[in-house]
Amino acid sequence: MKIALAQLNPVVGDVSGNLKKVVDTLKRHAGAADLIIFSELFLVGYPPRDLLEKPALIARTQAAVQELLAISRSFPQTAVLVGAPTPTGLDTGKGLNNCALLICGGEILCRQNKSLLPTYDVFDETRHFAPATQVEVFPFRGETLGISICEDAWYDPELWSRCLYAFDPVQELAQKGATLLINISSSPFQVGKEELRFRIFHNHARRFGLPVIYVNQVGGNDELIFDGRSLFLDSRGEAVAVLPGFEEEVVTVDSATAGKPGLYAPEEEIATVHAALVLGLRDYLRKCGFSKAVVGLSGGVDSAVTCCLAQQALGPENVLGVLMPSPYSSRGSIRDSRKLAKNLGVQIKEIPITPIYRAYLRSLKKHLDAEKIGVALENVQARIRGNILMALSNEFGYLVLSTGNKSELAVGYCTLYGDMSGGLSVLADVPKTMVYQLARFLNRERPLIPGEIITKPPSAELRPDQKDQDTLPPYEILDQIMDYYLTEGYAYQDIVRLGFDPEVVRWVIRAIDRSEYKRRQAAPGLKITSKAFGMGRRIPIAARHDF
C-alpha cells in the first residue's frame, strides 16, 4: 500500500485553514497514495487547550469533517487519516474524544479514540477528553491497520521506572491482528527527545514484528515547538523513511519496503535547539499576527543570540536592534552591539537613557538614597529600557523579544517590567551555559556574533564595574544545581551529596523558590528542555517549604 506521511504545521483554532491543508494535500497526492496520514488533532491544531470548551469550535470541527467527507467522494482511490476532537454522544463524562478518523469515498470508515490521556508536564488531556473504551483494528487495502494516537504508543516498561498506565494499546492492536501500526502524534520537542521517540517505535516494531508509521506535527504553538521527524520503520525496526526536523514535508512510502540499517541518525543536539528556537520564534510572531520584532542590544551574549535568532527567523529587514546606553555602559558594549547589527544587516536605533535616568534620580532624591547605586536604582535603568522598547512596539507594531536566559529567570536575576518586558521570551528555557553553545554554533560558518561578546565576563552594566559573578555563582555551577533541583527533583541534601558547596546549593534553591512570583508575570517562553518554566510547571507562590 502506498502511504503519504503528511508532516504539516496547523494553526490552533484555525479549522478552515487546517482543513484547507488537508484538502490541498489530498488533491496533490490523490492516486499516488492509497492513504494520507495527518497528525493528532490536526483539524484544530495542538494543543487547543480550553478552546475545546467552546461549543462553536466543536461545531466548526464537525462541519469541517462533513466538508472533508463531501470532498473525499471525488477521490475514492485515496483515504485520509486525520485527528479531530469528536463528541462522545454521552450525557456523562467529558463529552469529547481525541479521535483519529479514517475517511474515504464520502464515508468515515473507522474511528479510533485515544486511550492514554497524559496529565503530566504540559499535557492536561483528561481536562477535556474521555479515554477510548476499546481499541480495534481495521482492514484496508490489503493491510490491517492498528491506529493509535501519540501517548498510546508511549507504554514501554523498558523506558520508564514507573509505568503511568495499566493498559498497552499497541500490544492490544498487535494481538488483534494488525499488520501495520500507525501512530498519529503531536509530540513537542525537547533536547534529546528525538532519540527517545525513535527507540520507542523501534522497540514496538521489533517487539511485535510489525512495520510502524509515526506522523508528528511540526511548527510552533505558543511555548511548544513540534519538530516533526516522522518515521516509517519496517518490521525489524529499520528506517524506511525519516522526515526532516522543523519543516513541513510530505513523503510517500510503500508499506512493503524494507528499511536500511543506518538510515536513521539523530541530529546534533545544539543544532536542534537552534532550529527549534528559530521555528518557535517565527511561528509565534506569524500566528499572532506580527511580522517584525525589536530587541534591546546590551552588548551581552543573550541579546546577541536573541537578535541572531530573530534575524534568521524573520529576515534582517524585520528586526530592529535598540542600543540604550546608560552612564555605566562600557564603550566596548556599544561598539560590539553596532558590530553585531552590521554583521546581521538589521536596523539599529541608539536611544541613550542617561538623561531619563538623571530625571528619575532628581524625582526620587527625597524618597530613595540616590547617592548609592543599589538594587532599586539598578532596576530603574532596566525599567526605562523596557518602557522604551514597549513605546517602539506600540508605535510601529514590533513584538518586543525578551532576552533573559533560564539561569537568570530561575534565580530572579531579572527585573520585572524591565528586561522581563516583552511579548516572547526566546531564551527562557535556555541555560546560560547553553546560550554560549548557541553563540558558538551561530558563528560556525561566519562570525555573526563578535568574539568579544562571547569571551567577556557577563555583566548587566547597571553599576560601575558590575559582573554577574559578583551576585551569582559561576554559571557552570548554577546551571548544574538548577538542573538537579528543577528537572531531577533533587532535594537540598541530594545535591550537596553530589559534591556541591552547601551554601551555594542553599542560595540557589532559595533564589529559585523566592522568584516564582516573577516568573508568573514573565512573557511566554519557548520550551526546549524537559522541565521549562511556564505551562508545564505549576508551583504555588504563597507557600512555605524547605526542600
Q: Is 150 a known active-site residue?
A: yes
Q: Is 136 a known active-site residue?
A: no
Q: Is 31 exposed, middle or buried (0-12, 13-18, 19+ CB in 10 A)?
A: exposed
- How many helices (H) and strands (E) in the chain? 16, 19
Q: Is 466 exposed, middle or buried (0-12, 13-18, 19+ CB in 10 A)?
A: middle
Q: What letter does residue 352 receive in the DSSP assignment?
A: -
φ/ψ (deg, to 5) at 373:
-85, 85
For residue 446, give the amino acid letter. Answer: R
Computed over its alpha carbons, how large is the radius of gyration of the chain? 26
Q: Give 51-57's long-range contacts (Cβ < 8 A, gap of 24+).
A: 51/12, 51/13, 52/85, 52/96, 52/128, 53/128, 57/13, 57/15
Q: Which residues pair with 502 in a beta bridge?
A: none
Which strands sit side by side in the sheet containing 249-254, from one edge to the other?
A: 107-113, 96-104, 79-87, 35-37, 2-7, 249-254
Q: Is 40 a known active-site residue?
A: yes
Interior/surface letters 370-406, b for 16+ CB within 10 angstroms, e for the rest: beebeeebbbbbbbbbbebbbebbeeeebbbbbbbbb
Residue written as cell 503519504? 4
Q: What letter does residue 228 receive in the DSSP assignment?
A: B
The CA-to-CA distance between both ends of the chain, in Å, stands at 56
Residue 376 grid coordinates: 532599586
Residue 160 grid coordinates: 520508564
Question: What ranges make up the beta strands (E) of 303-450?
Answer: 319-323, 347-350, 399-402, 424-425
Question: What ranges make up the beta strands (E) of 422-516?
Answer: 424-425
The residues, any chain, with a CB within 8 Å of residue 193's CB and separated by 6 or more, are 187, 530
CA 169/CA 172 separation, integer angstroms: 5
Question: What ranges make up the beta strands (E) of 419-492?
Answer: 424-425
User: Which is catalytic among the residues 40, 125, 151, 408?
Assistant: 40
CA 403/CA 391 separation, integer angstroms: 17
User: Which is catalytic among the residues 104, 110, 150, 414?
Assistant: 150
Alpha-carbon distances, residue 410 vs 80, 413, 515 (angstroms) = 45, 8, 7
The residues, any chain, with a CB within 8 Å of residue 524's CB and separated by 6 or more, are 222, 223, 284, 423, 424, 425, 428, 534
User: Which is catalytic among the residues 114, 287, 292, 432?
Assistant: 114
Q: Which residues pair with 400 in a beta bridge?
A: 294
Residues marked active site are found at 40, 114, 150
